[in-house]
Amino acid sequence: MSKTSPSAPGLHVDSLLAHGGGGYDRATGAVVPPIPTATTFVRDEAYELRDPGHLYSRDDNALFLKTEKLIAELEGGTESRLFASGMAAIAAVARTVKPGGTLLVQSRIYWGTTLFLRKLCARNNVALIEAEAGDLQVFLDEISVTKPDLVWLEVPSNPFLEVADIRNIATRCKEMGAVLCVDATAATPLILKPLSLGADMVMHSATKTLNGHSDLLGGVVTTADADSEAWAFIREERKLAGAVLGSFETWLLLRGLRTLSLRVERMNANTRALAEFLHAHPKVETVLYPGLSSHPQHDLAESMMTGGFGSLLSVLVKGRKEEALKVAGALDLFQRATSLGGTESLVEHRFTIEGESSGIPENLLRISVGIEHIDDQISDFDQALSEI
Ligand SMILES: *Cc1c(COP(=O)(O)O)cnc(C)c1O
Give pLDDT, residue 338: 95
Does the structure show a pLDDT above 80 at 3?
no
Give pLDDT, residue 354: 86
Mean of pLDDT values over 129-149: 97
Q: Which of 172, 208, 283, 350 is catalytic?
A: 208
Helices 374-385 and 260-279 pack at an angle, to 10 degrees, of 30
Q: How remote is the CA of residue 385 from the centroid of ligand 1, in Å?
A: 29
Which is it for strands 335-336 and 150-154: parallel, antiparallel or unpaired?
Answer: unpaired
- Closest ligand 1 atom to residue 154 Cα is 13
Give pLDDT, residue 72: 97
Give pLDDT, residue 2: 35
pLDDT tens per residue across span 50-104: 988 889 999 988 899 999 999 999 999 999 999 999 999 999 999 999 999 999 9
Q: What pTM value is reported for the model? A: 0.96
φ, ψ for residue 49 (rounded to 5)?
A: -65, 140
Per the DSSP assignment, residues forming a β-bridge with 367 are 313, 347
Give pLDDT, residue 9: 64
Burial (0-12, 13-18, 19+ Cβ within 10 Å), 116: middle
pLDDT tens per residue across span 6-34: 555 678 999 999 999 988 878 888 999 99
Give pLDDT, residue 357: 82
Q: What is the pLDDT confidence band of residue 339, given thresholds at 50, 70 and 90? A: very high
φ, ψ for residue 129 (rounded to 5)?
A: -115, 125
Mean of pLDDT values over 207-218: 98
Pocket around ligand 1 at a 6 A CB cut-off: 85-87, 110, 112-113, 154, 158, 183, 185-186, 205, 207-208, 217, 219, 340
Mean of pLDDT values over 194-215: 98
Catalytic, 183? Answer yes
φ, ψ for residue 277 (rounded to 5)?
A: -60, -50
SS (H, E, C) the chain: CCCCCCCCCCCCHHHHHHCCCCCCCCCCCCCCCCCCCCCECCECCCCCECCCCCCECCCCCHHHHHHHHHHHHHHCCCEEEEECCHHHHHHHHHCCCCCCCEEEEECCCCHHHHHHHHHHHHHHCCEEEEECCCCHHHHHHHHHHHCCCEEEEECCCCCCCCCCCHHHHHHHHHHHCCEEEEECCCCCCCCCCHHHHCCCEEEEECCCCCCCCCCCCCEEEEECCCCCHHHHHHHHHHHHHCCCCCHHHHHHHHHHHCCHHHHHHHHHHHHHHHHHHHHCCCCEEEEECCCCCCCCCHHHHHHHCCCCCCCEEEEEECCCHHHHHHHHHHCCCCEECCCCCCCCCEEECHHHHHCHHHCCCCCEEEEECCCCCHHHHHHHHHHHHCCC
- Closest ligand 1 atom to residue 186 Cα is 13
Q: Whose CA is nearest to atom 4 of ligand 1?
A: 86
Q: Which of 149, 165, 183, 380 is catalytic?
A: 183
Give pLDDT, residue 359: 87
Q: What is the pLDDT confidence band of residue 4, given thresholds at 50, 70 and 90? A: very low
Q: How far is CA 203 from CA 154, 235, 380, in A?
A: 9, 14, 33
Q: Which of these, 305, 270, 278, lies nearest to 294 by C-alpha position?
A: 278
Give pLDDT, residue 289: 98
Distance between CA atoms of residues 162 and 67, nearest Å: 30
Which is it for strands 201-205 and 179-183: parallel, antiparallel or unpaired?
Answer: parallel
Give pLDDT, residue 28: 87
Give pLDDT, residue 48: 96
Question: Could you tell me the domains of the chain?
Answer: 13-258 (3.40.640.10), 261-385 (3.90.1150.10)
Mean of pLDDT values over 276-281: 98
Catalytic, 58? Answer yes
Q: How remote is the CA of residue 86 from the centroid of ligand 1, in Å?
A: 5
Interacting residues of 161 by C-beta distance below 8 A, sequence separation 6+:
186, 288, 289, 290, 295, 312, 313, 314
pLDDT tens per residue across span 40-53: 999 999 999 998 88
N residues, the chain: 388
Give pLDDT, residue 8: 54
As a whole number, the mean pLDDT across the chain is: 95
